[in-house]
């Protein structure tokens, strides 16, 4: 029951006992409720990938620079057990939400040997580099770093989400999903190659850089599908440790996210 | 109550309120950040900041919205209402931090101005699932800014109370937009039923308390309604019995659309308009202290005989004529202009 004899005025120094007691009860309830809410939010969110963006830690790499289908730096990474050279392709991106497709660095000839410094971004066996400087070297590229596989003739259908590889590999967490959609659109509009994130039933994830049938950039064509569940048909090629999906953008279909599952061969 | 416009008219209560509020804010950020770092050490500083400030601002908004109906249901919550504007401004600052970090994180350093990017990166306004939820947060933040910027008696006075009140009722529009901002944003990614349930529980709490307060208010209003009876001259309407009003307290009356507070004090009865000039507080729930009717919300005061705030203050409310016949009290619901002196009705021994 409320005590009608008590009357509270904010500008008085002391609140009546009944009012003070009720406020203390309210604050006590908040002290229980708020930590519980904070804990539930933290414990029931889906977590974050162990991806890495080495921002501020410069790495210098030497290798062959190629522009097609995407800006890659191909570096030698030792030899395998049979003595064969192992190469790795590192996707080059510019600072901010830009691809390595414009600016003075593009004066470096396609196929030339270069030394690049920048910040590494890596996750799930894929590596990108946010380039801070690139310098041409007077050196002939070894045969091993020139190699890339042609896309196969068989078509596949893949279902997944289109995002940008820079954020996905570690610049942002999460680098996919609805909250990241606008950022991915801005990155892809800025020239960063789109990537299709495909998860299988076992929870394993594969990433496919997306290019047109002839290797042309599809960034503008894909913008409206960024962040959505989509189905794409095309041929798969391999650029060292990167997979590339060569697709006709007219085949893109928007699907429910719940329908995302491993792809089937196109009929 | 102050005759000059201080940036903040500090009182011991406000100091305590603000200390507790800042401790709450700091405590939440430390707890949320600590839990994230323990359970999700891979989280980035940007994401941690965005999630900590976003959840805190949303939580604070729920507390702010619940305080009003809680006070209507139990006036012992009134100390929470007294300095609620500081809570609102602090909530806005936390929400602004969330908004700025989001704008920078998702829209800066690109090929478009961040604000242009905000409205052009996703234009699928026709789809609920793909709706650009960040624009909802942006517009809600603008509304919260307008409320925070005008959250001072200077603006209340200059905008006039009706305009100011209407502007600040926009908090409910902002709240609706923020609920959709959450549901169409992070909940599209974090699909845990627990997180959806938490959001839903917040909405139910806010709506439930407002509904309960509205029901109680409707009952109070219903009990306060009086109708003109035959045989009562000069427009007077029976209000109540003298004994129905406690000393130095009031009875609320609604007669012909007029909302009236009828006070009993020092063997006298006076009637003034029920709504305080400050923020429409219910004067009938106030008390006569030092000879002045004192509003229960923020302590604004009025003299019962003329509806004027004592000098040097300038607030005025309408007054009404009161008559006593036997033990019966009658009120004429025709209002006199604000601040008009009316002689109180005397309660004589013969009356009692």
Residue A190: its chain B contacts at CB < 8 A?
110-111
Is A85:A144 a contact under the CB 8 Å cutoff?
yes
CA atoms within 13 A on the CB side of B201: 9
Of A15, A50, A96, the CB nearest to B79: A15
The pLDDT assigned to A14 comes to 83
The answer to whether residue A266 scores a pLDDT higher than 50 is no
As a whole number, mean pLDDT of residues A76-85 equals: 83
The pLDDT assigned to B89 comes to 96
The answer to whether residue A13 scores a pLDDT higher than 80 is no
Give the residue among B161, B157, B172 at the shortest CA–CA distance from B64: B172
The answer to whether residue B289 scores a pLDDT higher than 90 is yes
B346 sits in which H/E element? strand B345-346
Residue A40: its chain B contacts at CB < 8 A?
194-195, 198
The pLDDT assigned to A25 comes to 97
Residue B201: its chain A contacts at CB < 8 A?
none
The pLDDT assigned to A265 comes to 41
pTM beyond cutoff 0.95: no
Residue A228 lies in a domain: yes
Give the residue among B323, B305, B298, B317 at the shortest CA–CA distance from B85: B298
Give the residue among A177, A161, A258 at the shortest CA–CA distance from A210: A161
Asked if B43's CB is within 8 angstroms of A95's CB, the reply is no
Residue A45: its chain B contacts at CB < 8 A?
40, 51, 190, 192, 195
> Residue A251: which domain range?
156-259
Asked if A189's CB is within 8 angstroms of B40's CB, the reply is no
Q: Could you give the maximum distance between any two Cα atoms of chain A, in Å?
A: 95
Residue B47: its chain A contacts at CB < 8 A?
48, 172-174
- pLDDT-derived band of residue A176, with 50, 70 and 90 as boundaries? very high
Residue A262: both structure tokens together: 């491993």
* C-alpha distances in Å from residue A3, one per residue of A13, A16, A22, A216, B248: 20, 10, 12, 78, 15
The pLDDT assigned to B282 comes to 92
Of B74, B194, B289, the CB nearest to A40: B194
For residue range A195-232, list pLDDT tens digits in order: 999 998 887 899 999 999 999 999 999 999 999 999 99
SS3 B126: coil
Q: Is the peptide bond before B312 cis (omega within 30 degrees of 0)?
A: yes
B42 at interface of A, judged by CB pairs closer than 8 A: yes
Give the residue among B321, B343, B324, B322 at the shortest CA–CA distance from B241: B324
The answer to whether residue B3 scores a pLDDT higher than 90 is no
Task: Give the count of Cβ contacts less than 8 A between chain A and B.
Answer: 178
Residue B287: both structure tokens together: 């008390």
Spatial distance between the Cα atoms of A249 and A262, rounded to a whole number of angstroms:
20
Which of A86, A119, A146 terminates a domain? The answer is: A146
Q: Are residues A130 and A65 in the same domain?
A: yes
The pLDDT assigned to A218 comes to 96
For residue range B231-262, list pLDDT tens digits in order: 456 789 999 999 999 999 999 999 988 999 99
Among B110, B195, B244, B297, most A C-beta atoms within 10 A, so best to mutate, is B110
B111 at interface of A, judged by CB pairs closer than 8 A: yes
Is B274:B224 a contact under the CB 8 Å cutoff?
no
Stated length of chain B = 352
Closest residue in A to B105 (Cα) is: A183
The pLDDT assigned to A264 comes to 43
Q: Are residues A96 and A141 in the same domain?
A: yes
Q: Is the peptide bond before B224 cis (omega within 30 degrees of 0)?
A: no
CATH code of the domain containing A94: 2.40.50.140
Residue A130 lies in a domain: yes
Let me know if A76 is exposed, middle or buried by CB neighbors in 10 A (0-12, 13-18, 19+). Answer: middle
Of B42, B122, B134, the CB nearest to A48: B42
**Span between the terminal Cα atoms of chain A, in Å:** 75
Cβ atoms within 10 A of the Cβ of A162, count? Answer: 27
Is B134:A182 a contact under the CB 8 Å cutoff?
yes
Among B18, B79, B117, most A C-beta atoms within 10 A, so best to mutate, is B79
For residue range B315-333, list pLDDT tens digits in order: 999 999 999 998 999 999 9
B230 at interface of A, judged by CB pairs closer than 8 A: no
Let me know if B298 is exposed, middle or buried by CB neighbors in 10 A (0-12, 13-18, 19+). Answer: buried
Distance between B33 CA and the closest CA of chain A, angstroms? 9
As a whole number, mean pLDDT of residues B173-196 equals: 96
Asked if A227's CB is within 8 angstroms of B12's CB, the reply is no
Residue B115: its chain A contacts at CB < 8 A?
none
Residue B44: its chain A contacts at CB < 8 A?
48, 172-173
Among A31, A45, A55, most B C-beta atoms within 10 A, so best to mutate, is A45
As a whole number, mean pLDDT of residues B207-225 equals: 92
Residue A108 lies in a domain: yes
For residue range B37-84, list pLDDT tens digits in order: 999 999 999 999 999 999 999 999 999 999 999 999 999 999 999 889
Residue A102 lies in a domain: yes
Asked if A30's CB is within 8 angstroms of B24's CB, the reply is yes
Give the residue among B176, B175, B156, B172 at the shortest CA–CA distance from B164: B156
Residue B74: its chain A contacts at CB < 8 A?
2, 22
B244 at interface of A, judged by CB pairs closer than 8 A: no
Asked if A40's CB is within 8 angstroms of B13's CB, the reply is no
Kindly give, in sequence order, each residue whose CB lies less than 8 Å from that of residue A263, ignoring residues fewer than 6 positions away: A156, A157, A158, A159, A198
Asked if B44's CB is within 8 angstroms of A173's CB, the reply is yes
Return the domain boundaries, chain B. 12-221, 233-346
B44 at interface of A, judged by CB pairs closer than 8 A: yes
- The mean pLDDT of chain B is 92
Spatial distance between the Cα atoms of A76 and A62, rounded to a whole number of angstroms:
9
Greater model confidence, B197 or A146: B197
For residue range A24-41, list pLDDT tens digits in order: 999 999 999 999 999 999
Q: Are residues A88 and A107 in the same domain?
A: yes
Give the residue among B35, B61, B58, B60 at the shortest CA–CA distance from B48: B35
For residue range A86-145, list pLDDT tens digits in order: 899 999 999 999 999 877 666 788 889 999 999 999 999 999 999 999 998 876 655 544
Residues 136-175, chain B: which have Cβ within 8 Å of A? none
Residue B304: both structure tokens together: 């019962």
* C-alpha distances in Å from residue A74, one per residue of A111, A144, A147, A208, A236: 10, 9, 9, 18, 19
Beta pairing, strands B292-294 & B287-289? antiparallel
Spatial distance between the Cα atoms of B337 and B346, rounded to a whole number of angstroms:
22
Residues 290-319, chain B: which have Cβ within 8 Å of A? 294, 296, 298-299
Kindly give, in sequence order, each residue whose CB lies less than 8 Å from that of residue B190, ignoring residues fewer than 6 positions away: A44, A45, A46
Residue B97: both structure tokens together: 């931090």
Only one residue has tokens 């960024």, namely A226
Cα torsion for B92, B94, B98, B100, to the nearest 10°?
A: 70
Q: Are residues A164 and A210 in the same domain?
A: yes
Phi/psi of residue B254, nearest 5 degrees: -120, 110
Of A8, A12, A43, the CB nearest to B39: A43
Asked if A190's CB is within 8 angstroms of B130's CB, the reply is no
The answer to whether residue B91 scores a pLDDT higher than 90 is yes
Question: Into how many domains does chain A fold?
Answer: 2
The answer to whether residue B224 scores a pLDDT higher than 90 is no
Residue B296: both structure tokens together: 């229960």
Residue A239: both structure tokens together: 């650029």
Q: Are residues A165 and A254 in the same domain?
A: yes
Ranges assigned E (strand) in chain A: 52-66, 72-79, 85-93, 113-123, 126-136, 156-163, 195-199, 205-211, 229-239, 242-247, 253-254
Which CATH number applies to B233-346: 1.10.10.60, 2.70.98.70, 2.102.10.10, 3.30.2010.10? 2.102.10.10
CATH code of the domain containing A232: 2.40.50
Q: Are residues A179 and A204 in the same domain?
A: yes
């Amino acid at each position: 029951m409320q005590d009608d004899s008590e009357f509270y005025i904010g500008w008085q120094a002391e609140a009546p006992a009944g009012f003070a007691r009720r406020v203390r009860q309210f604050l006590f309830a908040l002290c229980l409720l708020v930590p519980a809410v904070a804990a539930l939010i933290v414990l029931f969110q889906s977590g974050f990938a162990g991806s890495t963006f080495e921002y501020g830690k410069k790495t210098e790499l030497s290798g062959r620079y190629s522009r097609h289908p995407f800006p890659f730096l191909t570096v030698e990474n030792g030899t395998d057990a049979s003595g064969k050279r192992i190469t790795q392709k590192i996707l080059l991106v510019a600072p901010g939400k830009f691809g390595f497709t414009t600016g003075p660095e593009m004066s470096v000839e396609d196929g030339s040997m270069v030394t690049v410094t920048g910040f590494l971004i890596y996750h799930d066996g894929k590596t990108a580099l946010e380039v801070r400087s690139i310098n041409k070297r007077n050196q002939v590229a070894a045969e091993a770093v020139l190699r890339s596989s042609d896309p196969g003739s068989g078509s596949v259908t893949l279902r997944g989400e289109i995002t940008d590889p820079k954020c996905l590999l570690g610049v942002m967490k999460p680098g996919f999903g609805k909250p990241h959609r606008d950022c991915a659109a801005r990155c892809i509009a800025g020239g960063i190659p789109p990537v299709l994130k495909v998860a299988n039933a076992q929870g394993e994830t594969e990433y496919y850089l997306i290019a047109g049938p002839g290797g042309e950039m599809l960034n503008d064509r894909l913008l409206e599908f960024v962040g959505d569940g989509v189905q794409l048909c095309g041929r798969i090629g391999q650029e060292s440790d990167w997979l590339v999906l060569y697709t006709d953008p007219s085949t893109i279909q928007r699907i429910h996210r719940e329908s995302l599952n491993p792809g089937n061969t196109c009929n | 109550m102050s005759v000059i416009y201080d940036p903040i008219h500090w009182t011991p209560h406000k100091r305590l309120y603000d200390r507790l509020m800042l401790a709450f804010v700091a405590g939440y950020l430390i707890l949320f950040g600590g839990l994230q770092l323990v359970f999700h050490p891979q989280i980035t500083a940007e994401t941690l900041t965005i999630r900590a400030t976003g959840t805190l601002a949303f939580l604070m908004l729920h507390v702010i919205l619940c305080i009003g109906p809680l006070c209507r249901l139990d006036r012992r919550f009134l100390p929470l209402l007294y300095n609620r504007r500081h809570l609102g401004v602090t909530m806005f600052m936390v929400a602004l931090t969330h908004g700025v970090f989001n704008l920078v994180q998702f829209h800066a350093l690109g090929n478009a101005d961040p604000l242009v990017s905000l409205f052009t990166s996703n234009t699928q306004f026709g789809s609920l699932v793909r709706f650009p939820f960040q624009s909802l947060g942006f517009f809600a933040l603008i509304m919260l800014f307008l409320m925070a910027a005008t959250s001072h008696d200077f603006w209340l006075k200059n905008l006039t109370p009706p305009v100011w009140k209407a502007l600040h009722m926009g908090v409910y529009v902002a709240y609706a937009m923020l609920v959709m901002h959450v549901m169409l944003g992070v909940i599209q990614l974090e699909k845990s039923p627990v997180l959806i349930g938490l959001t839903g529980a917040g909405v139910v709490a806010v709506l439930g308390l407002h509904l309960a307060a509205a029901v109680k208010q409707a009952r109070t209003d219903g009990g306060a309604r009086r109708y003109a009876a035959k045989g009562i001259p000069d427009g007077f309407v029976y209000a109540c019995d003298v004994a129905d009003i406690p000393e130095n307290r009031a009875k609320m009356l609604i007669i012909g659309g007029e909302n009236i507070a009828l006070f009993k004090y020092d063997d006298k009865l006076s009637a003034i308009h029920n709504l305080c000039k400050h923020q429409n507080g219910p004067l009938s729930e106030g008390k006569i202290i030092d000879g002045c009717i004192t509003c229960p919300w923020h302590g604004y005061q009025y003299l019962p005989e003329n509806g004027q705030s004592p000098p040097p203050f300038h607030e005025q409310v309408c007054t009404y004529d009161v008559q006593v016949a036997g033990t019966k009290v009658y009120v004429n619901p025709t209002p006199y202009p604000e601040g008009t002196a009316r002689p109180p009705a005397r309660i004589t021994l013969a009356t009692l």
